[in-house]
Structure 1
Amino acid sequence: MIDISTIEKDIQQLQAGTHHDPFQILGCHKEGKGWVLRAWLPTAESANVEGKIPLGRIEGTDLFVASISSQKKKTLPQHFSVHWTEADGSEHQAVTPYTFLPGLGELDLHLFVEGRHWKVYEHLGAHYKEIDGVTGVQFAVWAPAASRVSVVGDFNGWHGLRHPMRTIGNGVWELFIPGLHPGDIYKYEIRNSNTGHCLIKTDPYAQAMELRPKTGSLVFNSAHEWQDTDWMQSRETFDWQKSPINIYEVHLGSWQLDDEGGFLNYREIAHRLVSYVKWMGFTHIELLPITEHPFDPSWGYQTTGYFAPTSRFGTPDDFRYFVDYCHQNGIGVYLDWVPAHFPKDEFALARFDGSALYEHEDPRQGEHQDWGTYIFNFGRNEVRNFLVANALYWLKHFHIDGLRVDAVASMLYLDYSREHGQWIPNKHGGRENLEAIEFMQVLNEEVHAQCPGTVVMAEESTSWPMVSRPTWMGGLGYSMKWNMGWMNDTLNYFEYDPVYRPYHHNQLTFSQIYAYSENFILPLSHDEVVHMKHSLVNKMPGDLWQRMANLRILLAYQQLHPGKKLLFMGSEFAQFGEWADARSLDWYLCERPENKGVQLLSRDLNHLYKNHSALHQRDFESAGFEWIDCHDYEQSILSFLRVSDTEKFVCLFNFTPVPRQLYRIGLPEAGTYQEILNTDSEVYGGSNMGNGGYIEAEHQPWMNRPYSAELTLPPLSVLVLKKI
């Protein structure tokens, strides 16, 4: 007769699904002069160990028990198998999970609670491994408000009491389940300690997830063999400040589709996209968020799987192939990354263990009213650790070259998009989110220290100072900042009919007042061609010819202005319609002469920028730019120099449809200047007005320059001159 008096409470807790450490009772335990074997089998009718030791059910429970002698124990393997029969007669066998030591050590737990375990994703989540000769999956999850956490999946019929985990301290639960394999679907069943309510949650650290609308986490074990050694070695010394960075912003779900209108695989996209990007002359691709998300029209900005590339386009290794192929072809890859907020989907991070775990409890701190999402609690060490480790995970394990951090302004300000009384001041009574600032500084310090040559770019829309200055100077530590002021002023100017442009000339010149206060990127992004804002070409005034000519000037102005560049897909060939995430770009337009002309100009501008140091070497230095004349507002003409250690380019802009004949321009040196770019060329769809390709400087001072020349400025055009 087996005495259960000493474990009655444990049995009750197991039966009720509230036991915090089933290892205390399950597995193999010393008892008196012998041993006791216990297995928890809620759906079994009968069971035995290793096919030879019968297990008897404790009446009224799901606990199966057998007492054995010490001699018998010696004949058992360290990790023994349990065989059981279901009510339907089906038979099963599995090594019991409850004989394995914890998978996380004290140092791991300490670093995690401290908020500085930068490889925590190697311990939390699901990891296929071999322990003591037994293969299976190690699970670990952070859920401090839980009274019980279980792993559920197809392998146990999604039964929440079959595989209860143990808590090993600091709110971390873990369990090694033998016999599981990559591809197995799983979630966590979490019982809240206060309410007793059970939640079914995906794994925050899952490295793969099911295709929406399914939401299961997938066990994944990468088998990809990287071929980009040369790229990764050169990245470590990449001087991004003085190098060309010209980014093609891409939404993978709508760049191109297959013949049936479905998504392409990451591998298919890689070959098509890289071929196009190389031909066009872009240096980098930036992907709208590809972290897993349930809702296509969110474009990935409502992330539910922070460590999982979306399965819409294939497996994580398919995405590794995409990055690898880009690198082998000399193209860098940036990711749009979203640490500012996360959605309220019940299966994901929201109220993860029944408490406000990743978010704030108080909606004045914890909810974005504009987006209907939760805000991360940046002051909680484990949450900050989750995000910083996630950033490093993409840079290290997927060889990503940089991150564009979305909605930085919403993290900086406690009163972001809030009225009086809807926000809580910081400890000093101010509106600055001190915890978010610290998070971003730690993020940027760790990325730059651990992944040299990578960049972190801030989409920050306010005048917050020193966004792209080092943290030791008091800055946020970002590599670069999106120049939203330049974008807004420039697009606003171009929307005016040329007859009114003289009154808004300062919108073009004002950017030089602050151009070197930050390391700026000039973005013409997806945000500017959606939600009734019109495509770039349809923002322009005038007839079709003038709209196309205006777009050609805009593209040239972006490439010639100091700062790194970003252009959203479709704008390079003057797509007429607004971007729509559910359909492919209108590639047929490239067969039309006027659209093809814009595409060819964009291509030539990209190669010009990439191949000539005058246009990129001093993007962040005032020494790389000199006004020739910024005062000719009456004719809406601008002229300036771009300068490097070895080159000088003369750039002239005519923002009206009026040709300017015999226009005298000051020049820095004597000699012959070649017209290396004319956006009015008939090749680009222009009127083909120009200066015959060459201009001779005269020894006549003009515009505070020692030399000058008279030339023709074509209508709505840009000229670039270089002394030969």
Structure 2
Amino acid sequence: MIIDGGAILIKQLELLTQEKLADFHNGRMIDAYLYFGVHLDQDATVFTVWAPDVKKVTVVCSDAGELQEERFDMQMHPLDNSVWQVSIPKRMVDVRYEYEITAADGEILRKSDPYAQRGEMRPKTRSVVSENSRHVWSDSTLHQKKNIATNHYEKPMTIYELHIGTWKRNDKGEFLSYRELADELLPYIKELGFTHIEILPITEHPLDESWGYQTTGFFAPTIRYGTADDLKYLVEQCAENGIGLFLDWVPGHFCVDDHALACFNGTYLYEEARPERRTNPDWGTLNFDVQKGEVVSFILSSAHYWLSEFKFDGLRMDALVNLLFIPNRPERPHNDEGADFLRNLTTSLKQHYPDAILIAEDAWHYPDVTKDVKDGGVGFHYKWNFGWMRDTQDYMQLPPSERPDAHKKINFAMIYYYNDRFISTFSHDEFVHGRGSLLNKFPGTIEEKFHQLRLLLGFWITFPGKKLLFMGQEFGQFEEWKFQPELEWYLLKEPKHLQMATFTKELLAFYKSEKALYELDDRREGFTWLDANNHEQSVASFIRRGFLPQDECVVVCNFSDRDYAEFTVGVPAEGDYEQVFCTAHKMYGGGTEATETVCRSTDIPADEQTHSIKVELPAFAMCVWKPKRERGEAK
């Protein structure tokens, strides 16, 4: 049944002034979500959409039961014929709607609202009028958030990367809601000792298996897990528990589905104008046209929306390679247009949200991604260190007998490390499409796999850079992430996996207790190789330093399958050195007994140090040594 709606034209949209419209068209608007989309205004519902060069736009509405459909013709804004709007004299909360657009060639299109703040549950695709938020941010929450962000370069940061839909399900096998997730996840995160959570994209998307990276709703938290206020509850609970929360967000490309942004007005409106740069064959997505002011305002406003409305502690930005490098060009020339857009984005976000942390996905060889824009950089705080991750994994996948010939993969990262600020990642991309779980990447018996997993995580935690680990790897998930209903939690009933979870907890606690492992992450004085080139024995050793000399740590990693009974390590000073951590400890599943281990240095130089110690170094083990403190000495 179709009812001809009693719509009235907005005579003058009070906030969408000529000045605001100019900002929108010129790519300077950062809060377009306040002016476009649907808004409840006392006893009216106001719709506004940008749809240039079309003949007609109609809002088509229906209730949840779809028993009737109402149509409301929109009119051009009196100051701008590319903007269409209508005010309907009733509050239409929970009403489903879409725009029916008559294109210039007469084609009739049905489109969801680009600025919608709520969508239907997939496979349905319409937008939904949502009630105004009732959530009030407490002073306590805002204060906690500021504490989490303060001085983050010199603080420990361990990020748990999470896909909400497959971390855990309820007893019926259904998704946890944002609220249920908060109640289940946060005790787990606190018990393990992670400092931050990063959630894979929750912007609305049609296909579960896209993991959220093929977005259709850039202002809508996916309804799969609940409402916007439910999400705000999750954010608030993270803050109240002292846990930072990052959102994985996609600024450069969007989903090709017909109901959304693709060919929105019958032409390439949001898409890149140049056909050779428009599509991403590998991902099946479309690139934004970041030379078009209205599109820039759209993307800027999306980033501001998530930080302003939901108070996320930062954004991790995906797929920057198609902004920093010209798409579909195998020689990978720099894309100055995309880089300038990102500089504009990071500058804007830092100006308005100085406590927000901005993280770039790997950007290949693009220089100065984390340098300030005023100094010629792109303006991010951190960059994922994919080079280190892949080199390290490639090395660890080799049989021990072949590792000596590939030893440079272990030490190469320090050649470029101080060019940017890095996060050492073991991210979701590495555990899909046949790549195996972290545990299953290693050669050898199941015992040897666990030894090597502990070694790898020990190397990860002591190597410079902040840390990120994908869910499930903390207890030795056996299968790769195949978008199964949930992680293999039943494995925690098995001793080896339970020991692995205990190890991860102890490792993260050790990391947070040792200032040398994080205070000088981005400074050359925080790291010194002792022996980077011991390929014959497959050993890498180095010193980590904090601000105070007494915090110095000597780290030795044995990547071979051989025990070294008396391994010589150079140390910088005379005295007793105690082993403060070893991945081969018996309590974790190794063979080293839980007894105090102390070595007295000699004045025999080694590794370009004035003194040395001889230590027992088990196969597949990472061990850390420190100058022994006198009883009662302050740490």
Question: Structures share a fold, TM > 0.5?
Answer: yes
Among 360, 364, 368, the residue aligned to 2:272:
360
Over residues 295-339 of structure 1, what are the superposed CA-to-partner deviations in whole Å (9 max), with x where a residue is unaligned?
011000110001011111111111111111001100011111112
Among 322, 327, 341, the residue aligned to 2:239:
327
Match of 2:299 in 1: 387
Q: 1:498-509 counterparts in 2 under 5 A?
A: 498-509=400-411
Q: 1:163-242 counterparts in 2 under 5 A?
A: 163-168=73-78, 169=80, 171-192=82-103, 194-220=104-130, 221-227=132-138, 228-234=141-147, 238-242=150-154
Q: Does residue 147 of structure 1 match 2:55?
A: yes
Q: Is the 8 A contact 2:74 2:84 kept in 1?
A: no
Match of 1:493 in 2: 395
Give the TM-score normalised by the residue count of structure 1: 0.83
Equivalent position amino acid for 2:99 in 1? Y
Q: Is the 8 A contact 2:10 2:85 kept in 1?
A: no
Which structure's CA Rg is the greater one? 1
Is the alpha carbon distance of 1:568 and 1:419 closer, same or farther for their aligned partners in structure 2, counting shifts above 3 Å?
Answer: closer
Alpha-carbon distance between aligned partners in 2 of 1:233 and 1:642, rounded to the nearest angstrom: 28
Match of 2:633 in 1: none
Instruction: State which drifts further: 674-683 or 607-616.
Output: 607-616
Among 686, 693, 714, the residue aligned to 2:590:
686
Q: Is the 8 A contact 1:108 1:120 kept in 2?
A: no
Match of 1:672 in 2: 576
Match of 1:348 in 2: 260
Alpha-carbon distance between aligned partners in 2 of 1:491 and 1:636, rounded to the nearest angstrom: 15
SS in 1 for 2:396: helix
Q: Is the 8 A contact 2:29 2:300 kept in 1?
A: no
Is the alpha carbon distance of 1:434 and 1:461 closer, same or farther for their aligned partners in structure 2, counting shifts above 3 Å?
Answer: closer
Instruction: State which drifts further: 587-596 or 710-719.
Output: 587-596
Q: Does residue 612 of structure 1 match 2:522?
A: no
Q: Is the 8 A contact 1:150 1:160 kept in 2?
A: no
Is the alpha carbon distance of 1:99 and 1:322 closer, same or farther for their aligned partners in structure 2, counting shifts above 3 Å?
Answer: closer
Bigger RCO of structures 1 and 2 (CA < 8 A, at least 6 apart): 2
Give the TM-score normalised by the residue count of structure 2: 0.94
Match of 1:575 in 2: 477
Alpha-carbon distance between aligned partners in 1 of 2:207 and 2:624, rounded to the nearest angstrom: 45
Match of 1:55 in 2: none
Q: 1:621 offset after TM fit, Å?
A: 1.0
Alpha-carbon distance between aligned partners in 2 of 1:397 and 1:99, rounded to the nearest angstrom: 26
Among 192, 199, 202, the residue aligned to 1:280:
192
Match of 1:718 in 2: 622
Q: 1:127-142 counterparts in 2 under 5 A?
A: 127-130=39-42, 135-142=43-50
Q: 1:562 offset after TM fit, Å?
A: 0.3
SS in 2 for 1:345: coil
SS in 1 for 2:33: helix
Alpha-carbon distance between aligned partners in 2 of 1:514 and 1:446, rounded to the nearest angstrom: 28
Instruction: State which drifts further: 563-572 or 161-170.
Output: 161-170
Q: Is the 8 A contact 2:361 2:384 kept in 1?
A: yes
SS in 2 for 1:631: strand
Equivalent position amino acid for 2:90 in 1? G
Q: 1:356 offset after TM fit, Å?
A: 0.7
Q: 1:696 offset after TM fit, Å?
A: 2.3
SS in 1 for 2:307: helix
Q: Is the 8 A contact 1:247 1:286 kept in 2?
A: yes
SS in 2 for 1:257: coil
Alpha-carbon distance between aligned partners in 2 of 1:492 and 1:353, rounded to the nearest angstrom: 47
Alpha-carbon distance between aligned partners in 1 of 2:595 and 2:398, rounded to the nearest angstrom: 28
Q: Is the 8 A contact 1:461 1:485 kept in 2?
A: no
Q: 1:722 offset after TM fit, Å?
A: 1.9
Q: Is the 8 A contact 1:441 1:471 kept in 2?
A: yes
Over residues 555-583 of structure 1, what are the superposed CA-to-partner deviations in whole Å (9 max), with x where a residue is unaligned?
11111000111100011111110112231
Q: 1:95 offset after TM fit, Å?
A: 7.1
Instruction: State which drifts further: 627-636 or 640-649.
Output: 627-636
Q: 1:42 offset after TM fit, Å?
A: 8.3
Alpha-carbon distance between aligned partners in 1 of 2:334 and 2:454, rounded to the nearest angstrom: 41
Q: Is the 8 A contact 1:151 1:165 kept in 2?
A: no
Match of 2:26 in 1: 114
SS in 1 for 2:419: coil
Alpha-carbon distance between aligned partners in 2 of 1:209 and 1:370, rounded to the nearest angstrom: 27
Match of 1:308 in 2: 220
Structure 2 residue runs of 5 or longer lacking an equivalent are 630-635
Q: 1:546 offset after TM fit, Å?
A: 0.7
Q: Is the 8 A contact 2:38 2:48 kept in 1?
A: yes
Alpha-carbon distance between aligned partners in 2 of 1:259 and 1:538, rounded to the nearest angstrom: 29
Instruction: Give the aligned length.
Output: 619
Q: Is the 8 A contact 2:206 2:216 kept in 1?
A: yes
Match of 1:586 in 2: 488
SS in 2 for 1:386: helix
Equivalent position amino acid for 2:412 in 1? F
Among 155, 160, 168, the residue aligned to 1:243:
155
Q: 1:101 offset after TM fit, Å?
A: 3.1
Over residues 170-189 of structure 1, what are the superposed CA-to-partner deviations in whole Å (9 max), with x where a residue is unaligned?
51112221212332221111
Q: Is the 8 A contact 1:191 1:197 kept in 2?
A: yes
Q: 1:238-637 counterparts in 2 under 5 A?
A: 238-414=150-326, 416-418=327-329, 431-637=333-539
Over residues 410-438 of structure 1, what are the superposed CA-to-partner deviations in whole Å (9 max), with x where a residue is unaligned?
22222x34469xxxxxxxxx943222111
Over residues 104-154 of structure 1, what are the superposed CA-to-partner deviations in whole Å (9 max), with x where a residue is unaligned?
221221111111111111111111122xxxx12221111112221121111
Q: Is the 8 A contact 1:553 1:717 kept in 2?
A: yes
Over residues 448-492 of structure 1, what are the superposed CA-to-partner deviations in whole Å (9 max), with x where a residue is unaligned?
111012121111241111111111222111111111110111000
Q: 1:656 offset after TM fit, Å?
A: 1.2
Instruction: State which drifts further: 116-125 or 700-709.
Output: 700-709
Instruction: State which drifts further: 564-573 or 181-190.
Output: 181-190
Q: Is the 8 A contact 1:535 1:577 kept in 2?
A: yes
SS in 2 for 1:162: strand
Alpha-carbon distance between aligned partners in 2 of 1:625 and 1:419, rounded to the nearest angstrom: 35
SS in 2 for 1:634: coil
Q: Does residue 650 of structure 1 match 2:554?
A: yes
Equivalent position amino acid for 2:61 in 1? G
Alpha-carbon distance between aligned partners in 2 of 1:107 and 1:581, rounded to the nearest angstrom: 47
Q: 1:363 offset after TM fit, Å?
A: 2.5
Q: 1:499 offset after TM fit, Å?
A: 1.2
Q: 1:282 offset after TM fit, Å?
A: 0.7
Alpha-carbon distance between aligned partners in 1 of 2:289 and 2:495, rounded to the nearest angstrom: 53
SS in 2 for 1:152: strand
Alpha-carbon distance between aligned partners in 2 of 1:303 and 1:123, rounded to the nearest angstrom: 21
Is the alpha carbon distance of 1:513 and 1:276 closer, same or farther for their aligned partners in structure 2, counting shifts above 3 Å?
Answer: same
Alpha-carbon distance between aligned partners in 1 of 2:2 and 2:150, rounded to the nearest angstrom: 58
Is the alpha carbon distance of 1:171 and 1:98 closer, same or farther for their aligned partners in structure 2, counting shifts above 3 Å?
Answer: closer
Equivalent position amino acid for 1:578 in 2? E
Equivalent position amino acid for 2:567 in 1? Y
Over residues 643-676 of structure 1, what are the superposed CA-to-partner deviations in whole Å (9 max), with x where a residue is unaligned?
0112111111111121101112111222222211
SS in 2 for 1:241: helix
Q: Is the 8 A contact 1:291 1:309 kept in 2?
A: yes
